[in-house]
């Protein structure tokens, strides 16, 4: 059986964006590693079901994906992969049936698989696909915290705004966290957040938290091309320091969130039992 105490204490965070190419997967993988280095146990759900590639950044090969769970071909223990010390991955895979379209038997298979998850996770990080497809909206709405990634690209603004507007109107999500990525420095990131916050305050009744900015320094550009983790390659790089600062913000905000919901509520909503 699922240990509800453990699942309820797990902080669930989706990392999402209005458009592709903003570096979501890089952020998720590095944040997971940084949190584990602070003594936390992290579970990653690769929810980018069309372009699932979190495993590549950790340099591991996965055996199966979440579609194998839904179809009953495999059990959670078959696909769950420890990709680093205290970092576990549920692989996504492409062509997966949307979670909110699961039938009764698929839901039962998912719930039984969830009951075999190891206990004691501090964080569940969900790497979503970009955009406003139904599956993206659903995964975001099930998480306790929705963190939206912005970049200096103007289309990142407009698409992120559209995503947040839909999540607010259709799913009543009214608070978001912002990470600015691919910036020159913290000053540019703060400027991007400030301009975006002004627009949101004018047209949407939402609350925004600023979690920090990740500079697109030469080290990060190099390791991203190699599809590797900057924290492993150069822990002293500016981008690595920025990622650790965002982890500090996540931990700070975690202490302010009530111990309700968590991973149990996330999975209940995903499989339609909420």
- SS3 call for 42: strand
pTM of the model: 0.92
Domain count, the chain: 1
Q: State the Cα–Cα distance between residues 79 and 63, nearest whole angstrom.
A: 5
Cα separation of the two ends of the chain: 17
Report pLDDT for 186.
Answer: 95
Say whether pLDDT at 214 is over 50. Answer: yes
Q: State the Cα–Cα distance between residues 26 and 239, nearest whole angstrom.
A: 11
For residue 33, which of 229, 238, 260 has the smallest C-alpha distance?
229
Residues 191-202 have pLDDT tens digits of 999 999 999 999
Compute the average pLDDT of residues 235-240. 97
Report pLDDT for 52.
Answer: 66
Report pLDDT for 267.
Answer: 84
Q: What percent of the chain shows pLDDT beyond 70?
A: 90
Give me the domain span that covers residue 162.
4-271
Report pLDDT for 234.
Answer: 96
b/e burial code for range 210-231 (CB count within 10 A of at least 16 → b): bbbbbbbbebbeebbeeebbbb
Compute the average pLDDT of residues 38-54. 86
Q: What is the Cα 273 distance to its own chain's centre?
A: 22
Q: What is the Cα 59 distance to its own chain's centre?
A: 19
Q: State the Cα–Cα distance between residues 160 and 166, nearest whole angstrom.
A: 10
- Cα–Cα–Cα angle for 106, 261, 175, nearest 5°? 110
Residues 134-176 have pLDDT tens digits of 888 988 999 999 999 999 999 999 999 999 999 999 999 999 9
At 25, which CATH number? Answer: 3.40.50.300
Strands, sheet with 42-47, edge to edge from the N-terminal-most edge strand: 81-84, 87-90, 42-47, 123-128, 11-16, 145-150, 175-183, 207-215
Query: Residue 133: which pLDDT band, with cuts at 50, 70 and 90?
Result: confident
Q: State the Cα–Cα distance between residues 130 and 162, nearest whole angstrom.
A: 12
CB 66 within 8 A of CB 96: yes
């Amino acid at each position: 059986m699922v240990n509800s105490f453990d699942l309820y204490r797990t902080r669930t965070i989706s990392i999402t964006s209005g458009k592709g190419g903003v570096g979501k997967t890089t952020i998720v993988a590095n944040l997971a590693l940084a949190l584990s280095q602070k003594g936390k146990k992290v579970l990653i759900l690769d929810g980018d079901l069309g372009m699932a590639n979190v495993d590549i950044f950790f340099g591991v090969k996965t055996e199966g994906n979440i579609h194998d769970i839904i179809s009953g071909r495999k059990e959670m223990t078959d696909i769950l992969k420890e990709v680093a010390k205290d970092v576990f991955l549920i692989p996504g895979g492409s062509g997966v049936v949307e979670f909110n379209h699961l039938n009764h038997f698929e839901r039962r298979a998912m719930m039984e698989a969830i009951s075999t998850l190891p206990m004691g996770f501090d964080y569940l990080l969900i790497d979503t696909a970009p955009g406003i497809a139904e599956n993206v909206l659903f995964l975001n709405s099930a998480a306790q915290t929705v963190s939206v990634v912005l970049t200096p690209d103007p289309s990142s603004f407009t698409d992120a705004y559209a995503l947040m507007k839909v999540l607010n109107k259709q799913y009543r999500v009214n608070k978001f966290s912002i990470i600015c990525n691919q910036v020159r420095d913290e000053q540019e990131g703060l400027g991007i957040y400030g301009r975006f916050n002004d627009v949101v305050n004018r047209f949407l009744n939402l609350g925004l938290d600023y979690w920090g900015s990740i500079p697109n320094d030469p080290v990060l550009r190099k390791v991203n091309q190699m599809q590797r983790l900057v924290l492993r390659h150069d822990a002293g790089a500016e981008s690595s320091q920025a990622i650790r600062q965002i982890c500090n913000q996540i931990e700070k905000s975690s202490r302010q969130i009530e111990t309700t919901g968590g991973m149990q509520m996330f999975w209940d909503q995903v499989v339609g039992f909420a």
